[in-house]
Amino acid sequence: MSIKTDITQEDYTAFVKYVARSVSATSGEKMVRIFIAIAVGFGIGFALSLLNLSSHPTTLPAMLCGAFAGAFLLMVLIGQISRRQMQRMRPADDGVVLGSQELFLEDAGIRQQSGHHQSVFRWTLIRAVAVTDRHVFVMVDRIAGIILPRRAFSSDGEREQFVSEIERRSGKTRT
């Protein structure tokens, strides 16, 4: 059984978003990050209040506003850095991620082949099979996987048969 496909930048972006959601921080970790950002903001607000050269004493509301503004700016700066890093992590047009590929379901595993590479992912390596509205992602690591756009399948039945065969051979069920 084989499928031919053409992976685009949009397919890769969808994969990255899927991975980011699946490995995102827990609510507890997010709360710790927010607390740290607020604490840093308070530190900035306090430091600025010590540097206040005017004759007016710094009030608690002014210090709180400075702290929250500092925390907000810190979180925005961290977000901007992440977006820029994501843009630089775009795969090469002539590399192994984008472009024409063919997948073969074989006894040894899933063989992925393009004009630039050939890989075999043994069935024991498959961690999960994710089916979304527009893609099938076969995860071979926490942040690595095989991208299959729905348009690669001639019908929903063909896609279902392909995914079912991966589930049967790998022992993993779809998420």
If one counts the domains in the chain, the total is 2
Indicate whether 16 pLDDT > 90.
no
**CATH at residue 152:** 2.30.29
pLDDT higher at 104 or 143: 104
State phi, psi for 142 to the nearest 5 degrees.
Answer: -60, -35
Whether residue 66 contacts residue 44, with contact meaning beta carbons closer than 8 Å, is answered with yes
Q: 63 in a domain, yes or no?
A: yes
Same domain, 118 and 161: yes
- Residue that finishes a domain, picked among 88, 107, 128: 88
Mean pLDDT over each residue of the chain, to the nearest integer: 81
Q: Are residues 13 and 31 in the same domain?
A: no
End position of a domain, from candidates 88, 114, 138:
88
Tokens of 36: 């740290």
Whether 41 has a pLDDT exceeding 90, the answer reads: no
Enter the tokens of residue 172.
């993993």
- pLDDT more than 70, % of the chain: 65
pLDDT digits (tens, 9 = 90+) for 20-29: 777 655 566 6
* pTM score of the predicted model: 0.67
80 and 147 in a single domain? The answer is no
Q: Report CA Rg, the chain.
A: 24
Q: Name the nearest CA neighbour of 134 among 147, 122, 115, 146.
A: 147
DSSP designation for 155: S
Query: Over 70: is that where the pLDDT of 101 sits?
Result: yes
Per-residue model confidence (pLDDT) at position 142: 85
User: Looking at the predicted structure, is the pLDDT value of residue 59 above 70?
Assistant: no
Is 175 part of any domain? no
110 & 162 share domain: yes
Measured CA to CA, the distance from residue 32 to residue 34 in angstroms comes to 5
pLDDT for the residue numbered 85: 64
- Mean pLDDT of all residues in 6-13: 92
Domain membership of residue 141 (yes or no) is: yes
SS3 (DSSP) at 133? coil
Name the pLDDT band for 167 (thresholds 50, 70, 90). very high
Task: Give the pLDDT confidence of 109-119 residue by residue, as tens digits.
Answer: 999 999 889 99
